Amino acid sequence: MEKKIKIGLIGLGTVGTGVVKVLENFDNIEIKAVAVHNINKPRAVEVKNITDDAFTLVNDPDIDIIVEVMGGCDPTLKLLETAIKNGKHIVTANKELLARHGAYLFDLANEYNKVILYEAAVAGGIPIIMPIKTTMRANNFESVAGILNGTTNYILSKMEEEGLSYEECLKKAQELGYAETNPTSDVEGYDAMYKIATLANITFHKRIDINKIYREGITKITKEDIECANELGYKIKLIGLAKRTKTDEIDVRVHPMLVKKQNMMAKINNALNAVLLKGQPIGEVVFSGPGAGEMPTASSVVGDILVLASEINMMGNILPMTRCNHSELAKQINISETENNYYISITAKNLHGIIGIIGTACGKNNINILSILQKGLSDDHRSAKVIVITEKCLEKDIQNAIKELEAIVQEDEKCIQINNLIRVME
């Protein structure tokens, strides 16, 4: 008779509840115990052996797999470390833990001949980790880019569709449960940063330092930016990007980007996620679907559990293709050395020669202007909105030009104010 695989589930929130529901369909898997923060909290599912001491699970010799969907790094890191040392395989959805401590945990797992699977940690229900590690293994990837956070994609979509402000759309997202009461991790780009770090790690087979990732959220995006982008043939998306440079450095960053409407990424709206891979011999391929939520994320978690369950009684080194077998640190390029096209939103005093001043500042800093548009005067006719689109140039050159423009004064008053700077996706 096939051995029943016993798991210890740490966390019974949205994802953990989904995992319990899905596992009811599989007779060969038994949830032996569940660890939660508050054992008295009402639950949407019934479970046996519930405890508020997660260490009883990682120390239980009968448990084969620890499934961690609690999140955070403390005490999660210590729990998974203990579980691996006690001979248990790991399934996790914890993107922050992997981004911050993945190198240590993967090395530890290899040392103890254990496996860590984490399909749910990057794009929820979208299968992306296993395809990169297995069926697309033959590819030499040039880049990976993604809409990796459903909350910010929902907010930007609603700003475009309904002409609302960022603040109004954030409030709506919170009311619908797409955004937390404290939305910082989503709207400031931390969530997407953790995910692109993991994607870059497995795509380029090098370890990524998240402290060297440039990160910028969506809080400065205005409905005017959305409208101008639309007129110019673009949509604004929060993109996590990792690409190989000509000098074999890795450019990893998260920030809003103007995406051409013809691009597949521009068509990903509301809370959906997408990942775009470019490489040889495959060319371009897009994976899209629900990036979060109870059942989509549970689908990925349970998928990993079943993969391990099918192998767990095998002898030797199981699932070798899923393991981390690289240790080289990536040489990450600083954002100042990257080349991009730029959208610059400027408020300028209605004075003769202002457009010329903008052009001169760009020219002095090796920046060619692709287009420049004046979007009409203010009600008092004292200022005008100017939109500049540049050709590709260095980030450090664009920042120098902005400093020059912002330093220009007239009668002790700024003549030029930079409202927003948004990079354009290639």
Could you list the active site residues?
A: 195
| Bridge partners of residue 260, in order along the sequence | 234
Give the Cα separation of 130 and 322 in Å (integer): 7
CA pseudo-torsion sign 346, 351, 354, 357: negative
Q: What is the largest CA-CA distance in the chain?
A: 88
Calculated CA dihedral for residues 54, 302, 130, 288, nearest 10 degrees: -110
112: left (phi over 0), alpha (psi -120 to 50) or beta: alpha
Per residue in 322-356, is it b (16+ CB within 10 Å) or e — as a string? Answer: bbbeeeeebebbebeebebbbbbbbbbbeeeebbe
State the Cα–Cα distance between residues 241 and 283, nearest whole angstrom: 17
Query: Which amino acid, residue 366?
Result: N
- Residue 258 CB neighbour total at 10 angstroms: 24
